[in-house]
Amino acid sequence: MATVIQVSASKGGVPKLPLLLARVTVNGLEGDKQRDRRFHGGPERALCLYSMELIEALRGEGHPIQPGVVGENVTIEGLDWRLVEPGVRLRIGGVLAEVSSYTVPCKTIRNAFSDMDFTRISQKLHPGWSRVYVRILEEGGVKPGDVVTVVP
């Protein structure tokens, strides 16, 4: 069973820090801000999701990555990340979301990597290692421990 490990927000940029509970609207996680709205946030990029298993694998490579430091709002454990691609719908607690795109990593997350190579999680260079953006189809609440399911 897949679950939410951490819900994260910031006043702008990274790292995003843990929250106990958050409300998610079509415009994103309430209270979360982005530094550059040209590339982050908005209805097509309402939330950024990432896999706890990938974070652990990156730690195994020697990177100091932790949940929230690469800008994801929701860190999920137990979901086959190979299935998380554009068009897939996910029920995340009280939220229904649809993956809208893979994220493009930028230099602001470089400190999460021991060699500062933030492209380590680029879908183009390392397929299957990317974070994803989602659009929100049903608004609601999300918190650590919430169940995450793929919706047909």
Predicted local confidence at residue 30, as pLDDT: 92
Count: domains in the chain:
1
Q: Which domain holds residue 117?
A: 2-151
- Residues 99 and 89: their CA atoms lie apart, in Å, by 6
For residue 13, the model assigns a pLDDT of 82
pLDDT of residue 43: 84
Q: Is 83 left (phi over 0), alpha (psi -120 to 50) or beta?
A: alpha
- Name the strand (E) or helix (H) holding 59: helix 52-60
Burial of 148 (0-12, 13-18, 19+ CB in 10 A): buried
pTM: 0.95
Residue 16 sits in a domain of what CATH number? 2.40.33.20
Mean pLDDT of 140-150: 98
pLDDT of 52-108, one tens digit each?
999 999 999 999 999 999 999 999 999 999 999 999 999 999 999 999 999 999 999
pLDDT score recorded for residue 39: 56
Q: In this model, does residue 145 exceed pLDDT 70?
A: yes
Kindly report, residue by residue over 117-140, the tens digit of the pLDDT: 999 999 999 999 999 999 999 999
User: Residue 41 pLDDT > 70, yes or no?
Assistant: no
DSSP, collapsed to helix, strand or coil, labels residue 112 as helix
